[in-house]
Structure 1
Amino acid sequence: MSDFDNEKTGGQERPDYYQPNQNEGQTYYTPPQNEQADNNTTYHYSYAGKAQENQESYSNASNYSSGNGNYYQPPQNDNKQNAENGNSPKPPKKKPSAGKIVAIILVICAFVAAVGIVLSTAGVIDNSKNSQNNSSTSQCQDSGSDVKTNDSNSVQTKDSSGNLTVAGVAKKVLDSCVGITVYSEKQASYNYFYNYGNNDGNNSSNSDPEKSGEGSGIIMSEKNGKTYILTCAHVISEGTKFTVTLNNKKEYDASMVAYDSQTDIGVLSINATGLQVAEFANSDNLAVGEQVIAIGCPGGLEFMNSLTSGYISALDRPISSNIGYDNKCIQVDAAINPGNSGGALFNMQGQVVGVNSSKIAATEYEGMGFAVPSDTAIATANSLIKSGYVEGRAKLGITYLPLTKYSNYSAILSALEEKGYKNAQGTMVINSVDGSSDLASKDVKQYDMIVAINGKTMTSTDVLTSVLADSKPGDTVKLTIARIENNSIKTSTVECKLMESKGDSSSQSNSSGE
């Protein structure tokens, strides 16, 4: 059992943040009923809806054709408009005499004749120059003749330095990009992760697998007559049946190998050989400002292998996974849409540098997508193929939420700072303890907070994940636990023997690896 210290206030009145509800007898920290609204929410981007459903064309959309009813109107009669504005209409002008009209016509004819002579002379000069280059330019000949086009206007796949252009990258990599269709035994939801629509209003259950989503994937490797498809865990984690569609539209039934929710990486396999395998780069060599290309299925397979381009906005961005772990991701401004999840992020050499996973989806944000670095993705995928889980990964055996997810986190941080834990923004609130965890036998319970590990204050969640990454199952770590009871904060140090993490990964085939 841990020995929580009982701090005394020396008779001094506690500051207000110890009593957020201003009611005697209430504890200082109680989890709010609703988590704090988080504008920086990231959404995974597999597709679970119909792209064209209820979609209007721009020409028929009322906001584009008429706006407020006065966006476009034909010109009004000047006199009528002046009268409506309270002005008197202008009197009609007198018609010019016939003599004046004749004089004007003669002047115009003389001017046109003069211009014609000048243009004719200029045309002779231009034609004489163009006659030297008529093999490389378009010509429009006299009546009835065909228009000749410049046959040299082909797609440039390399620039003047010999580097690939965007078109060159696309030509090189498209055959290594695939679409994934996911089927589930349970009722399909079609919700984009935002509760958009449903499965055509059909709420009946069906024992046969139903189409529940679509995503993207990358042809990763081939071994023993099988081809492995790299994708995101959240694309396939709820599926029971899968199909993989190649760039040439050929379809294969696929089997789940395994997935790892901590890194959001998953692997499928298909019985095929001789397909184009993607080339992977070392993501550690990336630089901010480097141009990248995202390829995937935004809106599902209807728009399969759509390409968007952009730049690396930042590296090592901490993005929370579905189960609370922070992963260091690549931030890009290339457009990421529902269905892009699991698709490749390429550099300008046509090499995979990341796996597109999520984006910040809020009206005040634009162009903030995130990809799992290729080094992380490949290491995870290889372990999943071999063992069905990520080998050698250590964990505490808890689930948690970041303290910053709670509405009263600022007050708690202030209180922790008074106890010597400065800038403890990475504090983790324990949500549950696994029965097989070493912590299950210790004085640790729900809503306790991890404020330090091995003496290091949790200035970010990276402090914990870095310690775990450098540890192995069986190692022991020291956790500083903060508990709030009876309007006071108490702390203790707890030792925890790390257990092996097999994640919440699932393996439906090849669980022993190959």
Structure 2
Amino acid sequence: MKKNLIASGLAGLVLGIVLMLFLSPAGFNESAEKGNAIKSSDLIEENVKADEVPNNFSIAKAVEVSKDAVVSVVNYQGGDMWEGAEPQPAGSGSGVIYKKEDGEAFIVTNHHVVEGANQIEVTLTNEQNLKAELLGSDPIIDLAVLKVDSSEIDKVISIGDSENLKEGQRAIAIGNPLGFLNGTVTAGVISSSDRIMPIDIDQDGSEDLQSEVLQTDASINPGNSGGALINIRGELIGINSSKIAQDSVEGIGFAIPVDVAMPIMESLEKNGEVQRPYLGIISVSLTDIPSQYHQSTLKLPEKVENGVVIREVEPTSPAAQAGLQSYDVITELDGKTVKDVGTLRSYLFTNKKVGDTMDVTFYRDGKEQTAAVKLTDENY
């Protein structure tokens, strides 16, 4: 009996040692190298190949390498020189330092953050205040570019890639919600990498165009607008915008993809504006026209349920030169279906350039026709 107990004890001790070796980091790693097991140090927070992201990267690391490139932006309005009144803060948001050269630094923010400002001030993470110059602003994509002296700036954010994002990948928002919670970090995932959202540019209650945005469950609140949406590497993948968000819904935030933003930023930086191709029509969505007019006035086949009705063609415009007329119903651009005014503008603004030729498919008097339109600048 005693021998059995000793043997049993020795067996248990040997088994314990084996288990300890196997479960220890060294034993686990050795086992992993011999088989197909995944080492705990190889677990990364993004759905990409292990060799694309260093193992030591985390949310904290991503924030550490990028947070100093995110600044606070204050919009000052009013003031009167004769009455001795100084401009007062009228709103605030965030911005991202994306470029530094020749003693100047360039900051991207949202158009609505700086709209109407007669003075703009930027606050760095070290609480240094800098006066900013507005180089250009674009209400359509809701972006603006500022310029400041770079002598106090050390950090410029790394530009990432938004085209190849996948749902479920890490998304980290950095900004200044409510105007005073500077350097706030919220984290989540990419909920949708190619969400299409209606945009009401003039706030008249009707859709002006549709915009491609990134959807994330990382919290984006007022004051976060213009801030950075970064990936697990700390690279910029989007410009946050609370303007697009729905106030009645929680857990849904939106950002302008960096691949969409960069050409706009470059144009604003160099030209102060974005030159977009001009078609030269005043139009309305077919779905906004009472159905009784679809056949009686527009003479459309019953199969045509969506499109854009030309209400007026501006004289000497590209549309006029191509022969388009009032009451023509546009259904396709370059073979792509046109559902409404929003999709027409979105295609025109994001897929075409000044000088391009665009094939317009339309119905006139019940017959389908096509016209080639040479797009120009609106100031042509």
Residue in structure 1 matching 2:338, options 458, 462, 479: 458
Offset from partner CA, 1:411-446 (integer Å, 9 cap, x none)? 88899996265462xx3466876677334676656x
The CA distance in 1 between the partners of 2:335 and 2:43, in whole Å, is: 56
In the superposition, relative to structure 1, how do residues 308 and 403 fare at CA in structure 2: closer, same or farther (>3 Å)? farther
Report the CA distance between 1:249 and its aligned residue: 1.2
What's the TM-score once normalised by structure 1's chain length? 0.53
In the superposition, relative to structure 1, how do residues 418 and 347 fare at CA in structure 2: closer, same or farther (>3 Å)? same
**Of 175-184 and 319-328, the range deviating more from structure 2:** 319-328
The CA distance in 1 between the partners of 2:158 and 2:95, in whole Å, is: 14
Match of 1:175 in 2: 68
Q: Does 1:498 align with 2:375?
A: yes
Match of 2:164 in 1: 285
SS in 1 for 2:256: strand
Match of 2:143 in 1: 265
The CA distance in 2 between the partners of 1:417 and 1:370, in whole Å, is: 41
Report the CA distance between 1:496 and its aligned residue: 3.9
In the superposition, relative to structure 1, how do residues 396 and 277 fare at CA in structure 2: closer, same or farther (>3 Å)? same
Asked if structure 1 preserves the Cα contact closer than 8 Å seen for 2:300 and 2:366, the reply is no
Residue in structure 1 matching 2:252, options 347, 355, 368: 368
Asked if structure 2 preserves the Cα contact closer than 8 Å seen for 1:395 and 1:468, the reply is no
Asked if structure 2 preserves the Cα contact closer than 8 Å seen for 1:182 and 1:241, the reply is yes
Offset from partner CA, 1:26-50 (integer Å, 9 cap, x none)? xxxxxxxxxxxxxxxxxxxxxxxxx
Match of 2:318 in 1: 438
In the superposition, relative to structure 1, how do residues 238 and 350 fare at CA in structure 2: closer, same or farther (>3 Å)? same
In the superposition, relative to structure 1, how do residues 218 and 420 fare at CA in structure 2: closer, same or farther (>3 Å)? same
Report the CA distance between 1:182 and its aligned residue: 0.5
Match of 2:56 in 1: 163
The answer to which structure, 1 or 2, has the higher relative contact order (CA under 8 A, 6+ apart) is 1
Match of 2:268 in 1: 384
Residue in structure 1 matching 2:98, options 197, 220, 236: 220
The CA distance in 2 between the partners of 1:170 and 1:245, in whole Å, is: 18
The CA distance in 1 between the partners of 2:305 and 2:56, in whole Å, is: 46
Residue in structure 2 matching 1:347, options 226, 231, 245: 231
Q: Which runs of 5+ in 1 are unaligned?
A: 1-157, 188-204, 503-514
Report the CA distance between 1:359 and its aligned residue: 3.8
In the superposition, relative to structure 1, how do residues 418 and 500 fare at CA in structure 2: closer, same or farther (>3 Å)? closer
What amino acid is the match of 1:419? P
Q: Does 1:329 align with 2:213?
A: yes
What amino acid is the match of 1:377? A
Q: How does 1:116-135 map to 2 (within 5 A)?
A: none
Q: How does 1:467-486 map to 2 (within 5 A)?
A: 469-480=350-361
The CA distance in 1 between the partners of 2:86 and 2:295, in whole Å, is: 54
Q: Does 1:294 align with 2:151?
A: no
Asked if structure 1 preserves the Cα contact closer than 8 Å seen for 2:229 and 2:238, the reply is yes
The CA distance in 1 between the partners of 2:177 and 2:333, in whole Å, is: 41
What amino acid is the match of 2:135? V
Report the CA distance between 1:318 and its aligned residue: 1.7
The CA distance in 2 between the partners of 1:459 and 1:223, in whole Å, is: 44
The CA distance in 2 between the partners of 1:367 and 1:277, in whole Å, is: 29
What amino acid is the match of 2:245? I
Q: How does 1:7-406 map to 2 (within 5 A)?
A: 162-185=55-78, 208-273=86-151, 274-300=153-179, 302-321=180-199, 322=201, 324-357=208-241, 358-363=243-248, 365-390=249-274, 393-398=276-281, 406=288
The CA distance in 2 between the partners of 1:298 and 1:430, in whole Å, is: 43
What amino acid is the match of 1:338? P
The CA distance in 2 between the partners of 1:437 and 1:452, in whole Å, is: 19
In the superposition, relative to structure 1, how do residues 395 and 174 fare at CA in structure 2: closer, same or farther (>3 Å)? same
Report the CA distance between 1:501 and its aligned residue: 5.8
SS in 2 for 1:299: helix
Structure that is richer in strand per residue: 2
SS in 2 for 1:174: helix
Report the CA distance between 1:263 and its aligned residue: 2.0
Report the CA distance between 1:398 and its aligned residue: 4.8
SS in 2 for 1:243: strand
SS in 2 for 1:222: strand
The CA distance in 1 between the partners of 2:185 and 2:284, in whole Å, is: 35
The alignment-based identity, stated in percent, is: 33
Asked if structure 1 preserves the Cα contact closer than 8 Å seen for 2:94 and 2:225, the reply is yes
SS in 2 for 1:355: strand
The CA distance in 1 between the partners of 2:163 and 2:299, in whole Å, is: 35
Asked if structure 2 preserves the Cα contact closer than 8 Å seen for 1:292 and 1:345, the reply is yes
Offset from partner CA, 1:56-99 (integer Å, 9 cap, x none)? xxxxxxxxxxxxxxxxxxxxxxxxxxxxxxxxxxxxxxxxxxxx
What amino acid is the match of 1:256? L
Report the CA distance between 1:389 and its aligned residue: 2.6
Residue in structure 1 matching 2:301, options 403, 419, 444: 419
Measured on the aligned residues, the alpha-carbon RMSD in Å equals: 3.8
Offset from partner CA, 1:101-140 (integer Å, 9 cap, x none)? xxxxxxxxxxxxxxxxxxxxxxxxxxxxxxxxxxxxxxxx
What amino acid is the match of 1:311? V
The CA distance in 2 between the partners of 1:421 and 1:165, in whole Å, is: 53
Report the CA distance between 1:227 and its aligned residue: 0.7
The CA distance in 1 between the partners of 2:161 and 2:347, in whole Å, is: 20
